[in-house]
Chains A and B, each alone.
Chain A
Amino acid sequence: MNLTRLALRNIAGSAFRSWVVGLCALLVAGFALGTTLIMRGAENSLKLALGRLGADILVVPEGTQMKVESALLMGHPASVWMPQDTLGEVAAIQGVAVASPQLYLSTLSNASCCSVSNMFLVAYDPATDFTVEPWLETKLGKSLKLGEVVGGRYVFTPEGEQKIKAYGYPLTLKANMEATGTGLDETMFMTFDTAEKVAEVSRVDAEQPLVIPAKSISSVLVRVKPGVDPQTVAVEILQQVPGVTPVESLNLFQSYRKQMTGLLQTVTLVMGITWALCVVMIGLVFSMAAYERRRELGVLRSLGATRMFVFRSLLTEAGLLAILGGSLGAGLTALTVFLFRNFIINTIGLPFLFPGPAALAGQIGIGLLAALVSVALAALIPAYKISHQDPAVAMRE
């Protein structure tokens, strides 16, 4: 009988012990994978959102930074306004290459004139835009016409309908952008002309009209000239343009980053406690098992098995239980996080993007490794002790 078969027989022969060790391995692997998946997913999502925005500086009305960040990252519609003249003032700052205005709007909630409820809408100026337009050129080879929109990953035309109705105006969804795991996935992008047309039609066809304050914009996206420090330009904007807050892309979503750090600390603490408890539990179970099996192992030694063979058989048993429990834990965690990803976004208030197959495989490997190391560590001392016991003493006791 080889080492693995002996270990498997021992596992099958002591169901309770095997279940306890397997469950501990399941917990360790599940926790390690869950934490890595959520934190990495949130981090990637933030990076993608920044990339999608594509601006070096975002200029918003003073005191509205949180609102705008929440709209861009979590899709909670924001209604913020500043005078249209701000655009000219920002564009005139030295070092600014392009300045493009945007309007932040939203559909009505539970209204028959809107087929999508409370959706964040972004209107942009196609003449100056450098975020949506380049993507459109690559994807569709043309700009959006009047009445056409592009949406984030989760924007869709309702079943049985050909167009998305907003304030009674039918919009044609031309394409969907790739998922970012942020509010941008539930945001609809349209040109200024379409937004104005929707506002015009809404006065007659909507339950409530869409109001766009005259000569107003919600934000200005700024791209600086090559070689120019965005921080210097942001300071210039702050000093020269009154009533606005320039936010550098590096400082964007700072509150979410802080929230993420806080969450990471809490999760690490919980994981540390769980890990310690699991290691102690596995250690106790293996100590008990080693004590119970001292005669059996003594017989094995007296039949010619070396100390190393006994030591290795116990560690193989622990390793097999760690792999079985860890695989189940990692599989269940990956499935749960994948299925509940939208619930996670809503609950923790952070963006989240599920990793691709390669990254997922790597993270599952980390979870399994954590389970294997924990179980091996806990089983090491009892296995060493029992394997070094004198067989005659072990059988007599």
Chain B
Amino acid sequence: MKVTGAVILILALAMGILSQFTDCLSQGRLLMLKDGKTTVPMKCHWTGLAEAAVATPLGLVGVSAAFSKRKETHRALAMLGVVLGAVAISLPTWLIGVCSNPMMLCNSVMKPALILGGILVIGVSIVDFVITERKLEKVG
């Protein structure tokens, strides 16, 4: 269980940090409003911030999973991992989104990295959940 906890922590850190450096704002790209003077960040910037907000509890899930010894806690953390992984995927794809141009960094790196990270978090959490369930069945 220490291994799955460490993997989730690493994935959370990677997703949280990467999303801060692959949005269009970090590349100096801003959206020009119709007045031709005012600039605002594009939506990938807000996805990056929201992703940092998801990565924080996900990291805590990883730390807790690595140090927790109670099987029931492990099971609950694994379920939380699945939910947070799904939220991490839905932020760049559905909830907020990224810029439409497929060649922009947010679309070509941030979005796929967050989807892949989310899938891995869900996969690792499911494996953790199944192993914990089996152990609980044996004990029970």
Contacts and interface: CB of A to CB of B under 8 A. Distances in A.
Contacts of A116: 101
Interface string B23-63: 00000010011101000000000000000000000000000
A186 B103 contact: yes
A154 B102 contact: yes
Contact of B101 (A154, A335, A336, A345): A154
B103 A339 contact: no
A159 B100 contact: yes
A342 B119 contact: no
B107 interface: yes
Nearest to B103: A342
Given A110-B29, A159-B100, A186-B103, A336 B116 contact: yes
Interface string B116-138: 10010000000000000000000
Contacts of A75: 103
B91 to A, nearest CB: 15
A31 B119 CA distance: 21
Nearest to B37: A112
Contacts of B73: none
A345 B113 CA distance: 16
B13 interface: no
Contacts of A156: 100
Contacts of B116: 335-336, 339
A346 B103 CA distance: 8
B100 A346 contact: no
Given A154-B101, A154-B102, A158-B100, A343 B32 contact: no
A110 B32 contact: yes
B38 to A, nearest CB: 10
A48 to B, nearest CB: 17
B127 to A, nearest CB: 11
B112 A340 contact: yes
Interface residues of A, number: 19
Interface string B83-115: 000000000000000001111000111011101
Given A159-B100, A342-B102, A112 B112 contact: no
A343 B112 contact: yes
Interface in A116-175: 116-117, 154, 156, 158-159
Nearest to A157: B100
Nearest to B107: A342
Interface string A334-351: 011001101101100000
Interface in A336-369: 336, 339-340, 342-343, 345-346
Interface string B5-25: 000000000000000000000
A154 B116 CA distance: 22
Contacts of A345: 103
Contacts of B32: 110-112
A159 B99 CA distance: 10
A343 B101 contact: no
Nearest to A159: B100
Q: Which of A75, A111, A154, A343 has the largest number of chain B CB atoms within 10 A?
A: A343
Nearest to B3: A19
Contacts of A340: 108-109, 112-113
Contacts of B108: 340, 342-343, 346
A166 to B, nearest CB: 15
A158 B101 CA distance: 9
A156 B103 CA distance: 13
Contacts of B115: 339
A335 B103 contact: no
Contacts of B109: 340, 343
A117 B111 CA distance: 20
A343 B107 CA distance: 9
A336 B120 CA distance: 11
Contacts of A112: 32-34, 36
Nearest to A183: B103
17 contacts: A111-B32, A112-B32, A112-B33, A112-B34, A116-B101, A117-B101, A154-B103, A158-B100, A186-B103, A336-B116, A339-B116, A340-B109, A342-B102, A342-B107, A343-B108, A343-B112, A346-B103
Interface of A: 75, 110-112, 116-117, 154, 156, 158-159, 186, 335-336, 339-340, 342-343, 345-346
Given A75-B103, A342-B103, A343-B112, 8 more contacts: A116-B101, A156-B100, A186-B103, A336-B112, A339-B112, A339-B116, A340-B113, A342-B108
